[in-house]
Amino acid sequence: MSFAIQGVYCAAATPLKDDGTPDLRLFGAHARALLDEGCHGVALLGSTGEAASFGLCERMDLLEAALRAGVPADALLPGTSVPSVTDTVALTRHAVQAGVKGVVMLPPFYYKAFSDEGLFRFYARVIEGVADDRLRILLYHIPMLTGVPISHSLIAMLREAFPDTVVGIKDSDGKIENMQAMSARFPGFGVLAGADPLLLPVLQAGGAGCITASSNVVARELRTVYDHWNDPARADEVRAAQDTIVAWRNLTNAYVQLPTVKTMLARRRGDLGWLNIHPPFTPLSEPECEKVWAEMARLESI
């Protein structure tokens, strides 16, 4: 089945300068490299990209930096949601006017204990505020951070009202059963796994691909799984790629994931500027960095 948004997308980390502002040059180079390494596209400014720690202008600047670096607009999936409808409309309109493939949109996450009807109204106001037929939205289900789950009933409401706009979901809750159920219930609605090891089972369930943190460092292996998962002649190759993905994903979780991913990128990209991170996160300690880098060297030698 074909989906409006499908493939291997990197939940790209965002490099920072020492003063905490985004390093636009380094980010552009990273985004370009991710495509060269096998990603179909770059999902910038999500959880791994520290989106909630940037201002609106910085977020727009990062999107434009990727474009200047030669990343095609239709390979970009920026996160554009904040609790304010007005600011979400502004970020989303900027992205759509730049020609992006789609946007990844969290539910409003400050207030809690509201109904699906309230969430529907938030998304409806954003869609109507952007007022552009080119808009394609991936919902973002990550209740461990937002405290606001995306229910199947909400998806049904949005699909009925905006079938050409609300085209899929990134599910980062880690429950393959939910991804399987969405794929079965909503034909043509692209379900993308938010955890690297779940790409294979999501594809087997009729899903659309993945948006993951570990693709910052294992894009090639994820692309191997995506391209050949259903080819019996490549089963051994897919199995080996899956084992590699799991090993690297486990390494990203050796410490707090976000600073660990950035530590891995400092070695992979050859630039210690990648160690910078927004508070409340803190960089890994020097001994922790050395352990991560040693394990990277071991995995690379296999």
- Could you give all domains of the chain from N- to C-terminal order, each with its CATH number? 7-231 (3.20.20.70)
pLDDT value at residue 40: 99
Report which of residues 129 and 113 the model is more confident about: 129
Q: Mean pLDDT score of the chain, rounded to an integer?
A: 98
Q: What six digits make up the tokens of 295?
A: 């394990």
Residue 112 has pLDDT above 80, yes or no: yes
Contacts of 21 (CB under 8 A, 6+ apart): 58
Three-state SS for 170? strand
Contacts of 59 (CB under 8 A, 6+ apart): 45, 51, 78, 80, 91
Residue 113 has pLDDT above 80, yes or no: no
Average pLDDT over residues 38-50: 99
pLDDT value at residue 42: 99
Which tens digit of pLDDT belongs to each residue from 147-192?
A: 999 999 999 999 999 999 999 999 999 999 999 999 999 999 999 9
Residue 53 has pLDDT above 80, yes or no: yes
48 is in an annotated binding site: yes
Under the banding of pLDDT at 50, 70 and 90, the label for residue 217 is: very high
Q: Is 104 left (phi over 0), alpha (psi -120 to 50) or beta?
A: beta
Maximal CA-CA distance, the chain: 53
Under the banding of pLDDT at 50, 70 and 90, the label for residue 114 is: confident
92 is in an annotated binding site: no
Under the banding of pLDDT at 50, 70 and 90, the label for residue 56 is: very high
Please say whether the beta carbons of 39 and 5 come within 8 A.
no
**Residues acting as catalytic residues:** 140, 170
- Integer distance in angstroms from the first to the last C-alpha of the chain? 35
pTM assigned to the model: 0.97
Under the banding of pLDDT at 50, 70 and 90, the label for residue 291 is: very high
Percent of the chain with pLDDT strictly greater than 70: 100
Average pLDDT over residues 250-273: 98
